[in-house]
A and B are shown apart, each in its own frame.
Chain A
Amino acid sequence: MESVESGGTHLTDHQMAGYLDRSLSAGEIEQVEGHLADCSECREEIRAATGLIRSRKKREMWYWGSSVVAAAAAVILFIAGPFSRSDTEEPTLRGPGGAFDAGIPAISAIAPQSGASVDRDGLTFVWRSLGADVNYRFTLTNLLGEEIWQTDVSDTSVVLSSEITLASGEVYVWLVDALLLDGRSVTTGSQSFELNR
């Protein structure tokens, strides 16, 4: 696309992104707004980009929020039958792909197993690898689904940070999400454990 400054017909990528980011100078803003006022095509485009950015933020909030909701739901099941190893809980795949999501490998949680009682010292979470070049997001929540700790790792295990304080006898939930290269995501599903007294 040609720049407005160069007498072209439409805004450049930078002008459009800069306007959305509020990173343009006053003079540049004036120029961009003047062009937008007269160019319905650029207005349509910048509106679409604004919508994308907004929906992406919402989507990310939903995405991670849904992890917490899933965790809370799992906890309810866990409370209903404590320590009755929830083998029936299938790892799930999230993503807007619908039916296309079927058959995509989910992440297998290895340790601690759901329903296990564990010690705080050296508490390590382990899951099965999805292959090279995959990054994972580990999330730990309490029974209410409130996030206690979240970290991104490329390894398939994570040692609970010593800065995180957990209460003995309490039940917690952990899960791991990963993003595939095609934009879809996979998860371990919610795994619960109790901290030994």
Chain B
Amino acid sequence: MADQPPTELSRLLGAADVDARQEAWKAFIHQHSRLIMHAARSLGGGYDAAMDRYARVLDQLRADDLKRLRAYSAQSGTKFTTWLVVVSRRICVDYHRSLYGRQRATGNPDPVREESASVRKQLADLIAAKVDLDQLSDTTKPNPETSVVQTELRQAVAEVLGALPNRDRLLLALRFEDGVPVREIADLMGFPSQFHVYRRLKHVLADLRLALEKLGIDGPNP
């Protein structure tokens, strides 16, 4: 499990003088420049932008007496290259944001509408009712009865979702909130295959249906 720190990193962190550190830094860059460039390119924007981010990553890794690199702990068992991918990407994203500000990736900026869409989607999958779920969450209609029903339904769904194990909550969030492909979920969460994801989703949704039924909900109307 616990990998030793890569030789080039150990040499860099343990360099006794300026010359040794310079040599070690060169070796480190040589070993990992491909990976860092890969992370720098992942944010798009052409060659110059990528090179700019690449340089930024190098600066940040070297800053404060290699503080960020020193934070890597082999005792954690984390592979250095995986750690470096995460760190490089984070530095690139931070840099990108410092230049262009934080951007929403996709979607509607209205949180109310997003929440409604999310609840609709969850309910559609959870209860599979053959009803027009839009009528539940259409916030433009000032019908107080509909509004109450909608609120109760949201509360019920939130209650049963909150009672799920974290892993199942993450599974549902990835699948139904983010719309992540099942193959990618399998890869990210460490399922042996996408079929295992489907199986787990089916199981979780069945449990949720049962839980909602216990709360007296067997359809979109509580």
Spell out A's residues near B (CB within 8 Å).
Answer: 1, 13-14, 16-18, 20-24, 29-31, 33-34, 36-38, 40, 43-56, 59, 96-98, 100, 133-135, 179-183
Interface window among B131-139, B148-156, B170-178: B170-178
B177 A40 Cβ-Cβ under 8 A = yes
User: What are 7 contact pairs spanning A and B, CB under 8 A?
Assistant: A18-B76, A37-B173, A46-B188, A47-B184, A49-B85, A50-B184, A51-B42
Bound-complex Cα distance A65 to B36 (A): 21
Q: Can you add 11 more A-B contacts, CB < 8 Å, to A43-B178, A47-B188, A54-B187? A: A14-B76, A18-B77, A21-B82, A24-B77, A40-B173, A43-B173, A49-B85, A56-B38, A56-B85, A96-B41, A182-B54
Bound-complex Cα distance A37 to B27 (A): 39
Q: Which residue of A lies closest to B178 (CB)?
A: A43
Bound-complex Cα distance A92 to B35 (A): 22
Bound-complex Cα distance A23 to B79 (A): 8
Among candidates B26, B33, B86, residue contacting A17 with C-beta atoms closer than 8 Å = B86
Give the residues in chain B near A179, CB-CB below 8 Å.
Answer: 30, 33-34
Spell out B's residues near A (CB within 8 Å).
Answer: 1, 26-27, 29-30, 33-39, 41-42, 47, 51, 54, 71-73, 76-79, 82-83, 85-87, 89-90, 93, 105, 166-167, 169-170, 172-174, 177-178, 180, 184, 187-190
Give the residues in chain A near B105, CB-CB below 8 Å.
Answer: 44
B89 CB to nearest A CB, Å:
6
B170 A33 Cβ-Cβ under 8 A = yes
Q: Which residue of B lies closest to A35 (CB)?
A: B166
B135 CB to nearest A CB, Å:
27
Give the residues in chain B near A48, CB-CB below 8 Å.
Answer: 42, 89
Give the residues in chain B near A134, CB-CB below 8 Å.
Answer: 30
